[in-house]
Chain A
Amino acid sequence: QQQVKQSPQSLIVQKGGISIINCAYENTAFDYFPWYQQFPGKGPALLIAIRPDVSEKKEGRFTISFNKSAKQFSLHIMDSQPGDSATYFCAARDDKIIFGKGTRLHILP
């Protein structure tokens, strides 16, 4: 049973465009929704996170939109850059972090 569903599996975006990654969850006990960025050969690094009592959080070019009633949340990367090319994981946490399967993002120069 996959508790956090992530889409798309891979994404190609032109430089300067908006990258959008979507996630959905079932467990209403989740109380924290982080996004992680992972480069090849490296560990995941926390990018941005949101709690379910907030509908949107923005940090620089990264924005999380959260829809509690739909149990969905998404990551928007504005003005996408080649350096953003990485694998992105959404996650949800009760007492441990449950990861989505990841989205491989490639930004075309």
Chain B
Amino acid sequence: NAGVMQNPRHLVRRRGQEARLRCSPMKGHSHVYWYRQLPEEGLKFMVYLQKENIIDESGMPKERFSAEFPKEGPSILRIQQVVRGDSAAYFCASSATPGQGRAFFGQGTRLTVV
């Protein structure tokens, strides 16, 4: 049973470009969470999704950021018109049920905006 898979592991984008981060949850998991980690800081919640639904996006910036978790395929975190401040590690976690059980994290995508 493969763990949470994130790709790419490293992503470099120029200012103004778009970044697309992918997360494939563990088999059987239908709940996905995205977090952002700045250097020397903890993880900040961004968004919680179930298949085809956004449950909680209270941590998402109002502009340029969007997330989806389609019926088929991985969850996608999209950042449009990236700026230097978007440089961070983005982690995805998945769980089988909400509010219960264990959430497992992927290895993260390290985004660098140049």
Contacts and interface: CB of A to CB of B under 8 A. Distances in A.
| 6 residue pairs, one from A and one from B, having the closest CB atoms | A43-B105, A101-B42, A99-B42, A99-B43, A43-B107, A102-B42
Nearest to B4: A43
B98 interface: yes
A98 B45 CA distance: 7
Interface residues of B, number: 23
B108 interface: yes
Given A6-B42, A42-B108, A44-B105, 20 more contacts: A34-B103, A42-B107, A43-B4, A43-B108, A44-B43, A44-B91, A45-B105, A89-B42, A93-B99, A95-B48, A95-B56, A95-B98, A96-B45, A96-B48, A97-B33, A97-B103, A99-B35, A99-B42, A99-B44, A99-B45
A31 interface: yes
A95 B91 contact: no
Most central of A32, A36, A45, A96 by chain B CB within 10 Å: A96
Nearest to A98: B45
Interface in A81-109: 89, 93-102
Contacts, number: 51
Nearest to B101: A32
A46 B41 contact: no
Contacts of A46: 102-104
Given A43-B91, A89-B43, A96-B56, A49 B33 contact: no
